[in-house]
Amino acid sequence: MDDAATAKLDDFIRRKGMRRTPQREAIVQLAFAEDEHFTSEELFDRVRRKNINASRATVYRTIALLVEAGLLQEIDLGGDLKTYDPNFLDKPTHNHLVCVDCGKVIEFEDSHLELLNDCLTRRLGFRPKRQSIKIEACCEQLRTKGSCPSLIEARLSRKRLPVRKR
Amino acid sequence: MDDAATAKLDDFIRRKGMRRTPQREAIVQLAFAEDEHFTSEELFDRVRRKNINASRATVYRTIALLVEAGLLQEIDLGGDLKTYDPNFLDKPTHNHLVCVDCGKVIEFEDSHLELLNDCLTRRLGFRPKRQSIKIEACCEQLRTKGSCPSLIEARLSRKRLPVRKR
DNA sequence: CTGATTGCAAATGCTTTGCACGCCA
DNA sequence: TGGCGTGCAAAGCATTTGCAATCAG
């Protein structure tokens, strides 16, 4: 978590008359420790692995806090669980491409896409607030060679494949 | 529900060795009776209002069936409930603009957007499968005049506003 | 001190499932 | 008749919440 984020959170907490607690500090730090998206439960896992004294409820409450403060974005990756993205502060306009085979998520930005969306929104008589683009696709390599590097990587790291059913 | 859809469903049911039951028929018909998106519970409401003998469980099971058959699309409109879109068979490439104030959903298509997304996907080394674009915006009129026709309409028809918390 | 915060367990609410019965093919 | 489909109630599961104890300021 960079300084801008720290400052923003401090400001938010002060304005709200809230308190700084060790649990909050630790959870927030862990949320931004990696660039990867996470679910509530995954963040709670990080907390447990670090032997931090914070309950599941506090993790959920802190996530809600960060979302409200605009530091964390709730995004839809297609699963049934809510996913959070810690990278929107640095790249406010990025979009997501999800590999339907391995669930790997790739973030990308494109100014043309942004501009086009903006125009479309205005043409429809609206004022753009936020646009989220999710592209579901599969690797060329998977199709042609029968295996995709992301899939292999996902298997090696024993990563959870995308959830389809709750 | 047009003929193409009926045929497609018939085919799907036959291939799967499934049966045609009055409940299924009725639920499917109601699902495509209107162009509007619906949640599982809303579809169940329609069923009840028509005094059709079908339980909530059957409605859920039939929705799953339609999604699997590719006749219904599960889309993310930002609420916490799953939403289903019955219009993808006619317009496979449409996107959604959601008014953040009244929750009104507008469907739109744009070939430039499609093309651009397609190029982007390929450039990233992927093969496009499906792209869903959700734009969150608010009416110009709401900003300038303090009220938006959709909002008024939503209030008049006592429509549920977008769900924020479960 | 005072009230925000936490932890626990219970509650919520949507969705799924096990099972016995009924009905389509 | 065989076994898919249905209804009911119970189970699942992520998330939220009530409440008493605790802790920050």
Do B81 and B7 lie in a common domain? yes
In a domain, B119, yes or no: yes
In a domain, A163, yes or no: no
Q: Domain boundary residue among B62, B85, B108? A: B85
Position B40 confidence tier, pLDDT thresholds 50, 70, 90: very high
In a domain, B76, yes or no: yes
In a domain, A61, yes or no: yes
Sheet (strand A73-75) strand order: A38-39, A83-85, A73-75
Do A44 and A71 lie in a common domain? yes
In a domain, B23, yes or no: yes
Q: DSSP states of B92-142 as a string?
A: TT-EEEEETTT--EEEE--HHHHHHHHHHHHHTTEEEEEEEEEEEEEEHHH
Q: A21: which nucleotide lies closest, measuring CA to C1'?
A: D24
In a domain, A165, yes or no: no
Q: B55: which nucleotide lies closest, measuring CA to C1'?
A: D7
Do A47 and A119 lie in a common domain? no
Q: Domain boundary residue among B33, B58, B85? A: B85
Position B66 confidence tier, pLDDT thresholds 50, 70, 90: very high
Q: How many domains does chain A have?
A: 2
The pLDDT assigned to A143 comes to: 67
Q: Give bridge partners of residue B134 from the DSSP assignment.
A: A132, B96
- Please give the Cα distance from A23 to A63 (Å, whole number): 12
In a domain, B46, yes or no: yes
Return the minimum-mean-pLDDT range out of A34-43, B58-67, B70-79, B134-143: B134-143
Q: Which of A116, A129, A133 sits opposite B112 (nearest CB)?
A: A116
Q: What is the pLDDT of residues A42-82, one digit of tens each?
A: 999 999 999 999 999 999 999 999 999 999 999 988 778 99
B126 to chain A, closest Cα gap in Å:
4
Do A107 and A127 lie in a common domain? yes
- The reply to whether residue B132 touches residue A137, judged by beta carbons under 8 angstroms, is no
Which domain, by its residues, includes A48? 3-85
- Please give the Cα distance from B66 to B72 (Å, whole number): 5
Is B88 a residue whose pLDDT tops 70? yes
